[in-house]
Amino acid sequence: MADYENKGILFKNDYKENDNHPDYKGKINVDGKEKELAAWVKKGKKGKFLSLSVSEPYDKVESNAPSKQANDSSMDDGESEDLPF
């Protein structure tokens, strides 16, 4: 087993733009599987605390929308896109 199993790390989120964005972000290894970890600093009756969220790693997915290049290729009769009609 890896030395990092069931351990994680958080870093200050320098890209936070609103209260929905976490104050801290990082990664955590849970039972050998890497997950994303997010934390928000909250205030309660007993003082400050951290609210945590564990999620699957973000996987950048390619858009299913047709690309501009695909749309341009449909105009194979030599017409330009900037014609006024």
Least confident segment among 37-41, 48-52, 74-78, 79-83: 74-78
Flag whether pLDDT at 27 surpasses 50: yes
Q: What percent of the chain has pLDDT over 70?
A: 68
**Cα separations (Å) of 59 from 36, 42, 47, 62?**
11, 28, 35, 10
pTM over 0.85: no
Q: Is the pLDDT of residue 73 over 60?
A: no
Question: Average pLDDT in the 65-84 region?
Answer: 55
